[in-house]
Amino acid sequence: MRVQVAIVGGGPAGHLLGQQLYKAGIDAVVLEQRSQAYVLGRIRAGVLEQGTIELLNQVGAGARMHREGLVHGGIELGFNGRHHRIDLHKLTGGKRVMIYGQTELTKDLMDARAGAGLTTVYEAQDVTLHDFDSDQPSVRYTKDGITHEVACDFIAGCDGYHGVSRASVPADSLQTFERIYPFGWLGVLSETPPVSDELIYANHERGFALCSMRSHTRSRYYIQCALEDKADQWSDDAFWDELRRRLAPEVAEAMVTGPSIEKSIAPLRSFVAEPMRFGRLFLAGDAAHIVPPTGAKGLNLAASDVRYLAQAFAEFYAGSEAGINNYSDTCLRRVWKAVRFSWWFTSLMHKFPDDTGFGPRVQAAELDYLIRSEAAATSLAENYVGLPFE
Ligand code: RFL
Ligand code: PHB
């Protein structure tokens, strides 16, 4: 097979890139190592920035999101037994976010891809990348015991943190930056009405809690947990009790609980690999960077990377190499701002096991500053809704 762009990974980054390239008349194949059902079974992000919403509209995959997604103009910060609203809409001159699950977004993109008759190879095993330091790169994979080769002009590495793309780059061509946090998030999905119309991020002496949602009837809640914890050690009752302890009393009382339909633990990590381009290989999304979920930035960064990448490929086929040459620097400027924001918001809202004196007091001072200073609240708001594109 020969295509212009071989996309490794069929998560949100790979699928969003695929749709943009299709709209630009550039042919591509998506190679995904898992089955479609497996990819759609992963419960992950839930908050879309305006730029991500616009991108879905542009590629013609936004209709269901606009019908079913929930538009939010604010978030609540919980601490000291009270909740304070950050008015995102007012503080950012009219911006909002959309609550729409990553699973649904990915499904819409998969449907759009299938509807346009485009090729995705699911369960593509043993993907290997070749000759991306030349202008004739290729990708090989095995499917049903048969090895296939895809010759291409470019490889887009959209295969997440554990993927093969970043791992294929010679170690001395890559610089990595990392921060591991000493806790995880235990997440529960339940078929219960959300406790609040807006998301609640709570700082509590027992640890962080987040009240989120997927719809008016489906809630997504998280609590900070120990890194060693296992999801199946947490009964549903233990989870609900711990969540309620970390919220203001009137919110805890209003909480509707029910059986969990998904329960999992995610570790928290900040990670950036530089640069994001090696010859004809371009990394995008989690393949290049990871942020802790506190700022709801992971999926949105994946979307902004592939927005720049699709534009760069379109420029290349129109005769200019400027876009592909600038891709890494342009992405990394936005990536590092999201890394900074996610690290800051994580540091502000979580209990750090070894810091029982100075840290909590600085957090309390900063939270008090946030609700009293419009400048401080504006900084939170403009980062949360997403910084502008260059
Ligand atoms: P993905 O979604 O990981 O997709 C990569 C795809 O590549 C496939 N793949 C391969 N395919 C072929 N060959 C190989 N060798 C391959 N290796 C991997 C994988 O099967 C997969 O389908 O990366 P992408 O597209 O860059 O999208 C990024 C987002 O998924 C990610 O940033 C967010 O989900 C991060 N994240 C969260 N972000 C939030 O904003 N809020 C959250 O609540 C939130 N929860 C999460 C998360 C990420 C998690 N991970 C990665 C473990 C919870 C978890 C558990
Ligand atoms: C979610 O709904 O899964 C979610 C929302 C906001 C975050 C992280 C996760 O910051």
Q: Is the pTM of this model over 0.95?
A: yes
The reported pLDDT for the residue numbered 390 is 87
Closest ligand 1 atom, residue 9 Cα = 7
Indicate the domain borders of the chain. 5-72+97-177+269-347, 182-268+352-385
Pocket test for ligand 2, best of 220, 262, 385 (most atoms within 8 A of CB): 220
- How confident is the model at residue 5, as a pLDDT? 98
- In angstroms, the Cα distances linking 230 to 45, 135, 222 are 21, 47, 14
220 lines ligand 2 (CB under 6 A): yes
Q: Is 184 in the pocket of ligand 1 (CB under 6 A)?
A: no
As a residue count, the chain comes to 390
Our answer on whether the CB atom of 187 is closer than 6 Å to any ligand 1 atom is no
pLDDT at position 356 is 85
Ligand 2 centroid–CA 285 distance in Å is: 17
**Domain 5-72+97-177+269-347, second-level architecture:** 3-Layer(bba) Sandwich (3.50)
Radius of gyration in angstroms for the set of CA atoms belonging to the chain, rounded to a whole number: 21
Task: Say which amino acid occupies 281.
Answer: L
Q: Is the distance from CB of 210 to CB of 202 less than 8 angstroms?
A: yes
Instruction: Tell me, in angstroms, the distance from the centre of ligand 2 to residue 293's CA.
Output: 7
Q: Are 261 and 231 in contact (CB under 8 A)?
A: no
Q: What is the mean pLDDT of the chain?
A: 97
Tell me how far the alpha carbon of residue 375 lies from the centroid of ligand 1, in angstroms: 34
| Tokens linked to 202 | 């709570």
Return the ligand number nearest the Cα of 209: 2
**For residue 174, how many C-alpha atoms fall within 13 Å in the half-sphere facing its CB?**
22
Ligand 2 pocket member 47 (CB < 6 A): yes
Per-residue burial over 298-325, b = 16 or more CB atoms within 10 Å of its CB, e = otherwise: bbbbbbbbbbbbbbbbbbbeeeeeebbe
Q: Does 3.30.9.10 match the CATH number of domain 182-268+352-385?
A: yes
Mutation to probe ligand 2, out of 77, 199, 268 (largest number of atoms < 8 A from CB): 199
Active-site residue (options: 201, 221, 308, 327) = 201
The answer, yes or no, to whether any atom of ligand 2 lies below 6 A from the CB of 69, is: no
- Are 287 and 158 within 8 A, CB to CB? yes
Cα(296) to ligand 2 centroid in Å equals 6
Amino acid making up residue 303: A
Residue 175 CA: distances (Å) to CA of 169, 278, 313: 11, 12, 25
Which one of the listed residues 297, 327, 350, 351 is annotated catalytic?
297
* Distance of alpha carbon 344 from alpha carbon 383, whole angstroms: 11
- Across the chain, which has 390 residues, the per-10-residue mean pLDDT values are 98 98 98 97 92 96 97 97 96 97 96 96 98 98 97 98 97 96 98 98 97 97 97 98 97 97 96 98 98 97 98 98 98 98 98 92 97 98 95
297 is catalytic: yes
Ligand 2 neighbourhood includes 296 CB (under 6 angstroms): yes
Question: How far is the centre of ligand 1, averaged over its atoms, from the C-alpha of 85 (Å)?
Answer: 30
- Whose Cα sits closest to atom 9 in ligand 2? 45
Q: 69 alpha carbon to ligand 2 midpoint, in Å? A: 14
Residues 221-244 pLDDT 10s: 999 999 999 999 999 999 999 999
Residue 194 is among the residues annotated as catalytic for this protein: no
Q: Nearest Cα to 231, choosing from 188, 202, 291, 274? A: 188
